[in-house]
Each structure stands twice: as structure tokens, then as C-alpha cells.
Amino acid sequence: MSEDTNARARLESVRRRIEEACALAHRAPDEVQLLAVSKTFPAEDVLRLWALGQRAFGENYLQEALDKIAHCAAAAPQAGLTWHFIGPIQSNKTRPIAEHCDWVHSVDRERVARRLSEQRPAGMAPLNVCVQVNISAEASKSGCSPQEALLLAGTIAALPGLRLRGVMAIPAPTPDPADQRAQFAAVRAVFDAIRRVHPGVDTLSMGMSDDLEAAIAEGSTMVRVGTALFGARPRHSPQDGPA
Ligand SMILES: *Cc1c(COP(=O)(O)O)cnc(C)c1O
């Protein structure tokens, strides 16, 4: 199979999984957006999916993201691509994120939120932001507690350079669908609590290659899919390094 045929087959397969999960959950298929997580894959893989209609891409590592954003802008100007930063953020490296991304899913503290708002260029639309919540406290260092999430959402909603969109989470991986659903339900509860105070909030970013069905069953509006679209990542990529 050519690379193009491969990419098309993978994209169609992921779209079908989303549609089937939506049907099972009695949800309309357009309630769930697909974010293609292109970390560790080259810009040509992004452009290949773009040619097949995919528009939203997610990146974890700052320098890699900036290189890819620049490459894609040069190769496909006015392409309608949106770039979502989904990795850990160092507070001294917020400026390029504010200047080059459309979304950030991984805001978990006030200092980062304030800097992103200050550094968002005046001519650009406010940066779309999700609060990253850690509902399995010991499993990961990123993300704030559910209690902190509500406070942080209030801070973000009041910042002029940001637009509060919702909540993101990366639950501890588990092969058991019932466990997956219980964790996603806990994220959903945080999302609902924030939405009661901030009715404009519309994004529940949860679900990846191995658990998107469970996430959609619990109300995900954006699944972040890497492996199922691009193939396995190199084992020794800097998975856990900060941006
Ligand atoms: C890598 C990554 C993904 C994609 O994971 P896959 O299992 O490859 O689909 C989604 N979200 C975040 C935050 C990631 O770091």
C-alpha cells in the first residue's frame, strides 16, 4: 500500500469508530471532533491527512510544534489548519505557544494562564483554552485537581487573551472498559460543574487511540488520536519531557 492509501484507510477507520461510538451513545456524529495528534511524525504526514480533509492537529513538544507549524504554513498557505498544544507547559516558554497555536489543552496553573493571556498577540483571536484535570492524582504529574479546576476556569474566563473552552484529561491507562468509563465520568463531572458557572464552555477533550469509545460514551466532544492515525511512535521519543 502507498503511504496515501495507508493514511486514508487509517483516517476512515478512526472516523468509523467515532461514528459507531456516537451511534451507540445516541449522539450525533458531528458532536465529536477528531484531533489528529501528530507528535513525533513529520510535517509531510500532517499535510497528507490535511489533503484528506483533516484540519485539527495536536502537538506535545514545543520546538517540534513550531517547526511543523512553520513548515505547514509555507507548504499549504490558508490551509485552515488549527494547531492544538496538548503537552506539558514550562511557564518560561509560553510566548511561542501564545503566538503560534490556536488552542491549548494543557493549562493546569494560574501562572501559565496569565502569561498566555498577556503574550497572546493583540491582532489574534483569543487563545482557546482547556483546563487540564488530573483525576487519578498519583498517576501523572500534569493537571490540576478537580477542586482547583473550577477556580482556574474562573481565572481563565476573566483573562482577555484567553477563551475558556472546557476540560482536558488523560486518565491512567487501563484495558478495562468499565474502569475507563468510570474515569471519564469523573472528568465529565468536572466539566459539568464548570459549565454550570460558565455556560459558554463546550469542549470535553478526552479519549485517545485505545479508549475513544469509552470517552464518547461519557460525553467527549474531542478525541485526541495519534497511534491509530499515524502508526506506532518511536519507543524512545521524549514522551514525558516538558514542552
Ligand atoms: C500522545 C497523546 C495523545 C495520543 O495518544 P494515542 O494513544 O497515540 O492516540 C493524546 N493526548 C495526549 C495529551 C497525548 O500526549
pLDDT score at 79: 76
pLDDT in tens, 52-98: 999 999 999 999 999 999 999 998 766 789 999 999 999 999 999 99
Q: Using alpha carbons, select from 128, 119, 51, 53 the residue that is nearest to residue 91.
A: 119
Q: Give the predicted TM-score (pTM) of the model.
A: 0.95
Cα dist from 2 to 43, 48, 196, 202, whole Å: 17, 12, 49, 38
Residue 209 is given by DSSP the state T
d(CA 63, CA 69) in angstroms, rounded, equals 10
Closest atom of ligand 1 to 228 CA is: 9
pLDDT score at 240: 47
User: Which parts of the chain sit beneath pLDDT 50?
Assistant: 239-241, 243
Residue carrying C-alpha cell 490535511:
50
d(CA 46, CA 52) in angstroms, rounded, equals 10
**Helical pair 177-197 and 146-157, crossing angle rounded to 10 deg:** 40
Q: Using alpha carbons, select from 33, 145, 10, 42 the residue that is nearest to residue 84.
A: 33
For ligand 1, say whether the CB of 161 is within 6 Å of any of its atoms. Answer: no
For ligand 1, atom 11, name the residue with the nearest CA: 224
pLDDT score at 127: 98
The answer to whether the beta carbons of residues 153 and 164 sit under 8 Å apart is: yes
For ligand 1, say whether the CB of 225 is within 6 Å of any of its atoms. Answer: yes
In testing the pocket of ligand 1, which one of 37, 39, 174 has its CB within 8 Å of the most ligand atoms? Answer: 37
For ligand 1, say whether the CB of 88 is within 6 Å of any of its atoms. Answer: no
